[in-house]
Amino acid sequence: MGSERRELAVLIVSYRRADLLERALASVDKWLPDVPVHVWDNASGGSAQVRELAAKRPDITWTFSDFNIGYIAAMNKLMAQVPDADVLQLNPDAELLGPLTRAREAIAEPGVAAVSPTVIDPDGRDEPWDVAHREQGVVRNLVNGAGYAKRLRGRLLSNLYPEPPEEVDGYLTGCCLFISRDAWNAMGPFSEEFFVYGEDATWQPAARKAGWSLRLVDDPEPQVRHASGGTVADDPLASKRGDDLLRSAQVIALGLEHNLGRGSLYAAGATLLERVQRSKRGPRDARLKALAEQAAGRPAVVVVTNGLKPGGAERQRVVLANRLVERGHPVTLVCLQHLGQYISELDPRVRMLMQPWWQPVVDVADTDEAIVVGGATKTEIGFATAWRALGPVVGQRRYWLPAAHDPAELEHATYSELQARALRPADGLLVLSRKHHEDLTRHQRLGGTVMVAPNGLTPGEPLPPRPSTGPLRFCMLTRLKEYKNTTLLIRALDALARPDEWTLDIFGAGPDRAVLEAQTPAYLRGQVRWRGVSPGPDHAFAETDVLCVPSGFEAFPLVMVEAMTRGMPVMASASGSVAEMLDHGGAGVVVEPVTVPAWTEALRGVLDDRGQLARLGAAGRERALARYTDTAMVDAYQRAFVRVLGHPFPGAEQRADVI
């Protein structure tokens, strides 16, 4: 392990506070004047001020992200910018007080993966060596969460050392952390299963297990000052979200293992502490009471999802939670299995928890009534069923509205018989369209009261007029899996035998990208371009003319709504709600059957009559703005709430139409 001494680079992920970032950069200028600095700004509320700072500091390498990808993903990207350097990962709310001489010497030693100097807490709450933690465990993490780690310092139950260690057997927190490039190359990047927090508590122990060492060093004079939580110190909502993300990261770091690992035990213990520990119980009770008063008669809502990684259903859960909290509902979003980048889009007023499905002890407010909304996966059904059943125990009337968003299987039942039986006792069932319900119930009965609630998104701005000459620029914006029919579309375009009249840009990532790309004929490589992940639909649509959705296994493709609200014409295979979304051809091109010849003919029709695209784009926008906005979606959900509650509440006076 190890090689010759490498160059050093300083990496900083910026979030919110340009003033703190400027202070951190000034300290680097003073103590590490010859070290290159790279800053990634995560599209935070302080980006305008950060851009002003960037204009004054052209000596720094700046990257401005179009959206908040989270600390871990951003740091991975910064690490890729300096592939031959050891790095100092520095928080923007940290300040160097010295040249870090001993830490720089230690990171150059063979076999050392990570090094931290001791760090001064300006409030005096922590010892300088408290950046070093002992090995994680369920009990140690709970003791720390209960606030007893310092009182029990040095004992078996505490994660804090009694005195500065040289070798660390757990992990070093990352406010000022040196990472060896040799170790990084050997271990790979941080796990992006986390959004923020958790990467240090997993990557470092894995490196240590592989034979690398973790070091804490102490110079004669203090080298670093760090105010914990400095980037959110002025924002109680952001601070609460930070606490929730830290708790979630600990659940993941300890491990869920099919919902039964050490992480699930920690989640149960943390939930219990919040209810029985006096210092936590009082603030919790006050918060729930205040939320009930703010609700003013509206039901509280629990939104359940397996995770927040990119996907149509996951995006819908976030949009739903955001719009409900805007309308006065107390809302808690519960992740059952993993986190994901959509956390950055979640309104800070929405409480976010990570809880295994078999731990349905989640509250939202001391309201008389509460509703749980989720999907139809086994974990979501299990959580929602149990959470509703606990209503009488806590003195709350609870209702369950599963939202079936799954593509329907036309040849056999979509859900297992166990799932179907579990769905039938729900207080209502939400489907995406009448056709979606027809397809879902082709082979099985799902429930009695069925209501339509199409998904919706915040409308995009209309796109500028498309060029009328040159190759027609088709695109896909999708997760790259074989069933999405990327290859079918490529074959259909190839069958046109009109190679000079079209291009195809494919935006997205997924497990099948390599296979799909390899299936593209070599002579089409100049026309079929694999663009990777797009930072958003506007980025993809800015360079294309027509969105194609060739998959024949869809329920309600939200990417179509993204395109339609912007006036981009859509071509899509007839599947699920697609034909209804496109007004059966009046607001887009519906391709049926889902075959290469049918797609070839549809594509030929578009190439032969490009004038129809503007009309279809305008009709699609008009239809989407009338039916498929986030406002329309939440209206439908609130009408469904009125239906199951049996009475109106402020802001929702009408009952839903029942299929």
Kindly give, in sequence order, each residue whose CB lies less than 8 Å from that of residue 82, ignoring residues fewer than 6 positions away: 9, 11, 36, 38
Tell me the C-alpha distance between 482 and 340, whole Å: 23
Q: Quick one: pLDDT at residue 640? A: 95
Which residues have a Cβ under 8 Å from the Cβ of 515 and sit 6 or more positions away? Answer: 482
Q: What pLDDT does 193 receive?
A: 81
Q: What is the pLDDT of residues 252-298, one digit of tens each?
A: 889 888 788 999 999 999 999 999 999 989 989 999 999 999 999 99
Do the beta carbons of residue 545 and residue 474 sit within 8 Å? yes
Tell me the chain's radius of gyration from C-alpha atoms: 27
Nearest residue to 424 via CA among 379, 376, 390, 380: 376
Question: CA dist 47 to 22, 235, 400, Å?
Answer: 13, 16, 41
Q: Which two tokens stand for residue 635?
A: 């209206």
Taking residue 645's Cβ as centre, other Cβ atoms within 10 Å add up to 17
Nearest Cα to 347, choosing from 637, 55, 640, 630?
Answer: 630
Which residues are registered as beta bridge partners of 571?
Answer: 548, 589
Quick check: 355 and 364 in contact, CB under 8 A?
A: no
Helices (H), 221-311: 236-254, 262-276, 278-295
d(CA 174, CA 191): 15
- The length of the chain, given as a count of residues: 659
User: Dihedrals φ, ψ of 429, to 5°?
Assistant: -130, 130
Do 637 and 631 meet the contact criterion of CB atoms below 8 Å apart? no
Q: Is 1.10.10.10 the CATH number for 7-232?
A: no
Fold of 472-627: Rossmann fold (3.40.50)
Q: Are 204 and 104 in contact (CB under 8 A)?
A: no
Of 159, 170, 235, the C-alpha closest to 204 is 170
The closest of 91, 86, 122, 120 to 104, measured between CA atoms, is 86
Q: What does the domain layout of the chain look like in residue ranges?
A: 7-232, 236-452, 472-627
Q: What is the largest CA-CA distance in the chain?
A: 78
CA neighbor of 186 nearest in space, from 163, 166, 204, 201: 204
Is residue 505 a contact partner of residue 531, using CB atoms and an 8 Å limit?
Answer: yes
Give the closest residue to 93 by CA, choosing from 25, 33, 45, 41.
25
Q: What is the pLDDT of residues 193-249, one digit of tens each?
A: 888 888 888 899 999 999 999 999 988 889 999 986 555 445 567 678 888 888 998
**Spatial distance between the Cα atoms of 109 and 293, rounded to a whole number of angstroms:** 59
Mean pLDDT, each 10-residue run in order, the chain (659 residues): 75 89 96 96 79 94 86 94 97 95 95 96 88 94 92 92 93 94 96 82 93 94 81 62 88 85 93 91 91 95 92 88 96 93 88 94 93 96 97 96 93 94 95 94 90 93 88 95 96 96 94 93 93 87 95 94 97 96 97 97 96 96 96 95 94 75
Return d(Cα 117, Cα 130) in angstroms, integer. 11
- CA distances to 233, 474, 476, 552 from 528, rounded to whole Å, are 48, 10, 11, 21
DSSP 80-145: HHSTTEEEEEE-TTEEE-S--HHHHHHHTSTTEEEEEE--B-TTS-S-TTTTEEPPP-HHHHHHHH
Amino acid letter, residue 498:
R
**CB-based contact 28:88 (threshold 8 Å):** no
Residues whose CB falls within 8 Å of the CB of residue 46, separated by 6 or more in sequence, listed in order: 14, 15, 16, 17, 18
Give the Cα separation of 201 and 263 in Å (integer).
13
236-452 and 7-232 share a CATH fold: no
**Predicted TM-score of the model (pTM):** 0.86
What pLDDT does residue 3 have?
A: 46
CATH of domain 236-452: 3.40.50
Amino acid in position 538: D
Rounded CA separation 105/396 (Å):
60
pLDDT computed for residue 70 by the predictor: 85
Burial class (CB in 10 A: 0-12, 13-18, 19+), 293: exposed
* Contacts (Cβ under 8 Å, ≥6 apart) of 548: 474, 475, 476, 489, 504, 570, 571, 572
